[in-house]
Amino acid sequence: MTVKIVTDSASDIPSQMAHALGITIVPIYVHFGDKTYRDRVDISEDELYQKLVEGAVHPTTSAPSPGDFAEVYRRLSRETDEIVSIVITARESAVYDSALLGKEIAGERSRIEVVDSQSVSMGLGFITMAAAEAARAGGDIEGVVEVAHQAIRKTHLLGTLDTIKYILKGGRLSRASTLLGAMLRVRPMLTLREGKLVLAGLARTRAKAKDRLFEFVKKTPNIEDLAIVHSTTPEEAQSLAERTKSLLPERPPLVARLGPALGVHGGPGFMCVAIRQGKSATEKATGK
């Protein structure tokens, strides 16, 4: 039986790609006051950003319940006896704990392994997709989990905010970092270190921030997968993607949309680059 792959909606994997790879996505919840929406099920990206800008209530997010994960695990257990669940970084979300509790609730119908991706957005997406490809190639659960861990070590992300107000409200960066950005009127650059979202620098203009994203791609060797993720600026994302094609003529970048679950914190104008590296020449030569 083929190992089944599960992730959460913070992966930002385009739905067609998830379907093609047999990936099941568990939606994160978005709350506007007393109204609750499932990410990309009850609320679209456009609806989220419109409410974010025009609404009087700032939204919050919450993890899928353990029952949500258990329901998915039980359903997939009718088709397989091995499931790998890869989720958003545990240092920024309660999704990992929920997925683990869901495993306990689901019982022993299948062997279930829950993996902390230590990443977000298409960083998580690429890790999940690598695992799904390994599963489709016939890998067993140990092999698929090992592929996921290899991808985690080789996945990197750099992003920029157009405004700090949403991430400040969501508490995803220290107040000192965000207030510094506000005082200087600069655009924070964000990255992940051991799964924790941290400040990676400041760009004085949006153009400079986009240059930083391009340089990040340019300086990263052995790129296997590349994605440009945006919240509300498809033209800018496509422009950056076109710019990177000269660096990776045989591997066109994927342009993806930041979904509601992460868009609550990133806000309009957010853009990031997610990279998964392949094996280096040395690793290929040594067979590692």
User: pLDDT, tens digit, for every residue of 226-285?
Assistant: 999 999 999 999 999 999 998 988 888 999 999 999 999 999 999 999 999 997 755 665
What pLDDT score was predicted for residue 173? 57
Contact 197, 225 (CB under 8 A): no
pLDDT at 151 over 90: yes
Quote the CA–CA distance of 20 and 22 in Å, as a whole number: 6
Tokens (6 digits) for 41: 């099920």
Question: Where do the DSSP E strands lie in the chain?
Answer: 4-8, 23-26, 29-32, 35-38, 60-62, 82-87, 111-116, 155-160, 187-193, 196-203, 223-230, 254-257, 271-277
Q: What is the mean pLDDT of residues 169-191?
A: 64
Say if residue 3's pLDDT is above 50: yes
Q: What is the pLDDT of residue 180?
A: 53
Q: Is the pLDDT of residue 171 over 70?
A: no
Residue 176 binned pLDDT confidence (cut-offs 50, 70, 90): very low
Q: In the structure, what pLDDT confidence band is assigned to residue 181 with cuts at 50, 70 and 90?
A: very low
Q: Where in the chain is the domain with CATH 3.30.1180.10?
A: 155-284
Return mean pLDDT, the chain: 92
- Of the candidates 3, 257, 273, the residue with the CA atom closest to the CA atom of residue 148: 3
User: What is the rounded distance in angstroms from the CA atom of residue 287 to the CA atom of residue 269?
Assistant: 42
pTM, whole model, 2 decimals? 0.94
Residue ranges matching CATH 3.40.50.10170 in the chain: 4-28+63-153
Residue 172 has pLDDT above 90, yes or no: no
Question: What is the CATH T-level fold of the domain 4-28+63-153, as seen in this structure?
Answer: Rossmann fold (3.40.50)
33 pLDDT more than 60? yes
Mean pLDDT of 72-98: 97
What whole-number percentage of the chain has pLDDT above 70? 92
pLDDT at 106 over 90: yes
Is pLDDT at 88 greater than 90 in this prediction?
yes
CATH topology of domain 155-284: Hypothetical Protein Tm841; Chain: A;domain 3 (3.30.1180)
Q: Which residue did the predictor score with more confidence, 220 or 166?
A: 220
Q: State which H helix or E strand residue 184 sits in.
A: helix 175-184
Please determine, for residue 5, whether its predicted confidence score (pLDDT) is greater than 70. yes
- With a pLDDT cut of 90, the percent of the chain lying above it is 81
Q: Tell me the mean pLDDT in the region 61-78.
A: 97
Averaged pLDDT for residues 96-125: 96
What gap in Å lies between CA 127 and CA 153, rounded to an integer? 10
Average pLDDT over every residue of 59-85: 97
**Of 260, 191, 268, whose CA–CA distance to 230 is shortest?**
268
